[in-house]
């Protein structure tokens, strides 16, 4: 069996949820577990986060899996439902649904449901993805209030620049002005807003990437006392010595300028490691930080062992985790930690650890 593995730490997940709760103070914390728990395994995550006040995901099948795994907290479908059958199923499993367009309101008005359903009514305050414009929001809320299939209505938006220098003052003011005459609980805060904008915590916060110990904004996750929930590891499966002028890997992107000892790691882009990670991307061998060399292959990548004479076949390699933060690999690769965590391939076994 290939030595590659993604170890998922329940204690890190629980610690990060506690950090969210400490920042949120009196607000309830909804754990966002979309994209298979950000690549950590949906059921692994929900079993670790049993004290979350609710959960949020994108697709109905994942929400049903959570119910069948014993989750009895509120489960929110962040994009809502896509047809009347999904709406009926969501109601039968006592789920909450986001409403962000008039088609969804019409479904609620015209579908026979087993029970009234809780709604999160989304306002578009500048993200321009989903949601009603502020000028249309009150009318949408009134229609939902008049619908027999609707139970509670939570007022909701999502900030585009919570982790940017521009902040959230303008969209927050737009939301507050629009909703000042509308009663109901409020949900505004994603991870960046939880950590950086306490003025927008409201009644429900939606903790996402912070639960998995990755960066929010420009600061390292450790600055917020967040711990990595995934350690992505493998081993050296071969060692080669390059003479001056010899190259390694497809495209010969790395050519040795002196005799260089290199390690071949059983991990590649088919496992979820970014193919575009350049020479110099940090990697750890037996706990010592070194760098990748050359182009990442489908099943293998290469690392510099010049200063690691004890490293040999079987040596432990951390691709990211406690020694190499996932965001460091992401930054070197021109992407974000979210993408790398979500891209862990199904062929990579996941092991749950304390």
* Catalytic residue annotation: 34, 250
Three-state SS annotation for the chain? CCCCEEEEEHHHHHHHHHHHHHHHCCCEEEEECHHHHHCCCHHHHHHHCCCCCEEEECCHHHHHHHHHCCCCCEEEECCCCCCHHHHHHHHHCCCEEEECCHHHHHHHHHCCCCCCEEEEEEECCCCCCCCECHHHHHHHHHHHHCCCCEEEEEEEECCCCCCCCCCCHHHHHHHHHHHCCCCCCEEEECHHHHHHCHHHCCCEEEECHHHHCCCECCECHHHHCCCCCEEEEEEEEEEEEECCCCEECHHHCEECCCCEEEEEECCCCCCCCCCCCCCCCEEEECCEEEEEECCCCCCCEEEECCCCCCCCCCCEEEEECCCCCHHHHHHHCCCCHHHHHHCCCCCCCEEEEC
Structure tokens at 42: 């949906």
Report d(CA 226, CA 211) in Å as an integer. Answer: 8
How far from the centroid of its chain's Cα atoms is residue 138's Cα? Answer: 31
| Inter-CA distances, 91 with 80, 130, 286, 341, Å | 12, 22, 51, 31
Q: Is the dihedral of CA 289, 294, 295, 296 positive or negative?
A: negative
């Amino acid at each position: 069996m290939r030595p590659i593995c993604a170890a998922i730490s329940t204690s890190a997940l629980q610690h990060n949820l506690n950090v969210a709760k400490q920042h949120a103070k009196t607000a309830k914390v909804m754990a966002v577990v979309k994209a298979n728990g950000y690549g950590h395994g949906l059921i692994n995550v929900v079993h670790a986060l049993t004290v979350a006040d609710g959960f949020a995901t994108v697709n109905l099948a994942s929400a049903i899996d959570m119910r069948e795994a014993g989750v009895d907290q509120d489960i929110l479908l962040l994009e809502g439902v896509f047809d009347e059958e999904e709406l009926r199923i969501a109601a039968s499993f006592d789920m909450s649904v986001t409403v962000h367009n008039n088609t969804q309101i019409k479904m609620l008005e015209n579908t026979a449901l087993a029970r009234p359903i809780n709604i999160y009514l989304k306002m578009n305050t500048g993200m321009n993805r989903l949601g009603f414009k502020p000028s249309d929001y009150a009318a949408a809320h009134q229609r939902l209030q008049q619908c027999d299939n609707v139970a509670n209505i939570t007022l909701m938006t999502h900030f585009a620049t919570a982790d940017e220098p521009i902040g959230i003052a303008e969209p927050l003011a737009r939301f507050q002005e629009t909703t000042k005459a509308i009663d109901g609980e409020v949900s505004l805060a994603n991870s960046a807003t939880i950590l950086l904008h306490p003025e927008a915590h409201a009644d429900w916060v939606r903790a996402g990437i912070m639960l998995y110990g990755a960066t929010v904004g420009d600061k390292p996750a450790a600055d917020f006392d967040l711990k990595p929930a995934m350690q992505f590891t493998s081993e050296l499966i071969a060692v080669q010595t390059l003479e001056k002028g010899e190259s390694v890997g497809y495209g010969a992107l790395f050519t040795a300028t002196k005799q260089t000892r290199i390690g071949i790691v059983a991990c590649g882009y088919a496992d979820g490691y970014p193919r575009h990670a350049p020479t110099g991307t940090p990697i750890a061998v037996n706990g010592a930080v070194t760098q990748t060399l050359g182009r990442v292959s489908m099943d293998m990548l290469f690392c510099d062992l010049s200063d690691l004479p004890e490293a040999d076949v079987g040596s432990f390699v951390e691709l990211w985790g406690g020694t190499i933060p996932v965001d460091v690999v992401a930054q070197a690769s021109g992407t974000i930690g979210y993408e790398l965590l979500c891209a862990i391939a199904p062929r990579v076994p996941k092991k749950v650890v304390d």
